[in-house]
Amino acid sequence: MTETRYERGARALSQIDGAAGENVVAALADIAPDFARLLIEFPFGDIYSREGLSLRDREIATIAALTAMGTATPQLKVHIEAGLNVGLTRAEITEVLMQMAVYAGFPAALNGLFTAKEVFAERGV
């Protein structure tokens, strides 16, 4: 009865990213369906499904990294929403974003905060 990597990944993707994650997978269907499968299998089936770090902690790491990189606004949006899905509060996410001013500069933090503002408005939090 062992779950495959794909099944485990699809379950994790749905739990963490919800509809936003499924939209990404759907958007890949015509251009790179294999990449949709790899996206489910490796990040979600292999990494997020690991024990040893809670999903809440994993989303802190992801939100911080994407904000610092500054090149992944659509994915940051998905993961701010994911953070809310797995138990981070709006206030905690805001703290993570503000802290990025120290490591990646004020523009990175500002762009992260304005992305969060959009997500919070859409979610009504």
Q: How many Å apart are CA 25 and CA 115, to the nearest integer? A: 21
Among 4, 7, 23, 105, binds its own copies (CB under 8 A): 105
Closest CB to its own copies among residues 8, 58: 58
- Taking CB under 8 A as the rule, which mask of x and - marks residues 41-80 in contact with its own copies? xxx--xxx-x-xx---xx-xxxxxxxxxxxxx-xx-----
Return the residue matching tokens 């009504």: 124
Residue 60 in contact with residue 88, Cβ under 8 Å?
Answer: yes
Contact between 6 and its own copies per CB under 8 A: no
CB 111 within 8 A of CB 70: yes
Closest CA to 116 of 18, 98, 54: 98
* Residues at the interface with its own copies (CB under 8 A): 24, 27-28, 30-32, 34-35, 38-39, 41-43, 46-48, 50, 52-53, 57-58, 60-72, 74-75, 91-92, 94-111, 113-114, 116-117, 120
